Amino acid sequence: MTIPIIRRAVPSNVAALLGAGIPSVLARVYAARGIESVSELEHGLDALPSFASLANIDAAVDRLSYAIATRESIVIVADYDADGATACAVGMLGLRALGADVDFIVPNRFEFGYGLTPEIVALAAARTPRLLVTVDNGIGSVEGVAAAKARGIDVLITDHHLPGATLPDAIIVNPNQTGCRFPSKNIAGVGVMFFVLIALRAKLRQRGAFAHGAEPNLGALLDLVALGTVADVVRLDQVNRILVAQGLSRIRNGRAHPGIAALFAVAGRDAARATAFDLGFVAGPRLNAAGRLADMSIGIRCLLAQSPAEALPLAAELDALNRERREVERTMQDEALSDLESVERPASADAFTLCVYRPEWHQGVVGIVASRLKDRYHRPAIVFARGTAGELRGSGRSISGFNLRDGLDLVTKRTPGLIRRFGGHAFAAGLTIDEAALPAFAAAFESVARETLTPAHLRRSFETDGALQTGELTFAFAKSLQHRVWGQGFPAPAFDDQFDVVSQRAVADKHVKLCLSRAGERFAAIAFHRTELLPARIHAAYRPEVHEWNRLEALELIVEHWLPVD
């Protein structure tokens, strides 16, 4: 199937950006991403919203400040992904700096599953805490909170996942709970924890806690906040763009925590040139590998490391786990594609959803494979692996137009008992079902998707920001884009035009190096993960990037997609 190149519409509000002095190309890029005024492009910390609009924030900081004043033991209960790990590290470092006696526990996904379960409460209780603080989990932990209360342990939930019909009986700070006025509903779990710490510091300041000493600099935690935000693939609204921009600034300026610096080092990346891409595709996967294949406490210990000597061995261990993860992922993806294409017609041809399972698959990697299948077939995809006691654990990814968490909720309402438990976001969710229920679940999920999606939703296209005029496609322009914050919901600019292919050659048997020409201008370019040579003239969708070789920088076009031109 030919994938068309579609240009994003440019709203009329581009005039306001042009009038404010934004260069014309950037003005149309920003307008196409919903920016209506220059104020939405502010990246200073003073542009962040007040913590005061978070529901229950006063109760949360009162409980934390009491724990600090009375030297109560606090245990953070983390999630086993990069958001949970960074949220845990932010909580540990921030609460310690504010005077708390705090430790952490992170469930092993293969033994305990997700969230604050009664089993995790029992494990945490061995450390005799008076307060449990969840990070990036807890909004669905009704039974776990009840188990904690039965032991006389209070619970503070900090989370960002969408709540279910019943809330735990605890203090809850979650911008997505009903009645919360916090303007960003997209901040990651690490962002929620960061705002809780800001609020707690303000409360302690009000009580004179810093009268005889310097206040802790919580801004020093922003590199961790940036990593967790990008790695969790949350929408980069203005709040998240500010957090990421501030964190990247610290990393580039050599002020990253030793653990993050070590993650860059083992990947061979220059932290002084760090971008959001590095957080999402370099540091993030290495951190996530611990939770996928082993124990996320390795990742958290790396983030908490106080020196390069302490951090580097842990980062090296994470790097090795990530290489192993890639091998497991490659095998699972090949097997999933084989299963989907093994019928007379491809499974994706008339299905609106994909559900795949093999009993030998690794449950720590199902989410990545689901993402790959979603991208390839442009359909909501759920990949299952065998859990314990006859259950399957699945992870899903979705496309625009289908809210995955709401879809699972509708399946549960229509067929009670079909799903044991679930949770997540619009574009990513996890669930547990009985192994015998897989065919019934797949049918119910497909039915729900068909009510929401149309064939138009399932047709892939490649969106660009249009063409660049002669003289606009320069090294200086690519450099200006390099350090801006792009990501989920705020995609990096891509452009399109017709080019003559002046020359081309295969590189490492998997890429094609190109020289392209247009209107008298020539450009170095590369098409990644392609082995076939391109025709003499192409309509190319591309991203302008800064390529570095032997410490020399130059403009290079990354050809993302192309169509032949007759």
Question: 341-452 sits in which CATH class?
Answer: alpha beta
Looking at the predicted structure, is the pLDDT value of residue 345 above 50? no
pLDDT band for 418, please (50, 70, 90 cuts).
very high
Average of per-residue pLDDT across 305-322: 98
Residue 66's pLDDT is 98
350, 353, 358, 361: CA torsion to nearest 10:
140
pLDDT band for 344, please (50, 70, 90 cuts).
very low
Residue 542, both tokens: 């591309």
Residue 349's pLDDT is 64
User: Please, how many CA atoms are within 13 Å of residue 384, restricted to the half-sphere of its CB?
Assistant: 25
Q: Give 471: exposed, middle or buried? Use CB within 10 Å, 0-12, 13-18, 19+.
A: exposed
Residue 566's pLDDT is 84
pLDDT band for 212, please (50, 70, 90 cuts).
confident
Centroid of chain to Cα 129: 31
Average of per-residue pLDDT across 285-290: 96
**519 phi-psi bin (left φ>0, alpha ψ -120 to 50, beta other):** left
- Out of 167-181, 203-217, 488-502, which region has the weakest mean confidence (pLDDT)? 203-217
Looking at the predicted structure, is the pLDDT value of residue 49 above 70? yes
Residue 548's pLDDT is 87
Residue 399's pLDDT is 94
Query: CA separation (Å) from 1 to 376, 377, 563, 565?
Result: 12, 11, 12, 16
pLDDT tens, 444-500? 999 999 999 999 999 999 999 999 999 999 999 999 999 899 999 999 999 999 999
* Distance (Å, whole) CA 39 – CA 232: 26
Residue 348's pLDDT is 53
Average of per-residue pLDDT across 227-241: 96
**117 phi-psi bin (left φ>0, alpha ψ -120 to 50, beta other):** beta
**Domain 464-564 coded CATH 3.40.50.300:** no
- Helix 222-231 to helix 258-266 angle (10° resolution) is 50
User: Which residue shows structure tokens 């908490």?
Assistant: 304
pLDDT tens, 106-164? 988 777 777 899 999 999 999 999 999 999 999 999 999 999 999 999 999 999 998 98
Residue 341's pLDDT is 85
Q: What is the CATH number of domain 46-320?
A: 3.90.1640.30
pLDDT tens, 73-119? 999 999 999 999 999 999 999 999 999 999 999 988 777 777 899 99
Residues of the chain with CATH 2.40.50.460: 464-564
* Distance (Å, whole) CA 260 – CA 402: 35
pLDDT band for 67, please (50, 70, 90 cuts).
very high
Average pLDDT, the chain: 95
List CB contacts of 61: < 8 A, sequence separation 6 or more: 196, 199, 200, 202, 203
- Percent of the chain clearing pLDDT 70 (strictly above): 99
**471 phi-psi bin (left φ>0, alpha ψ -120 to 50, beta other):** left
User: Which residue shows structure tokens 């603080």?
Assistant: 133
* Distance (Å, whole) CA 51 – CA 100: 20
pLDDT band for 1, please (50, 70, 90 cuts).
low
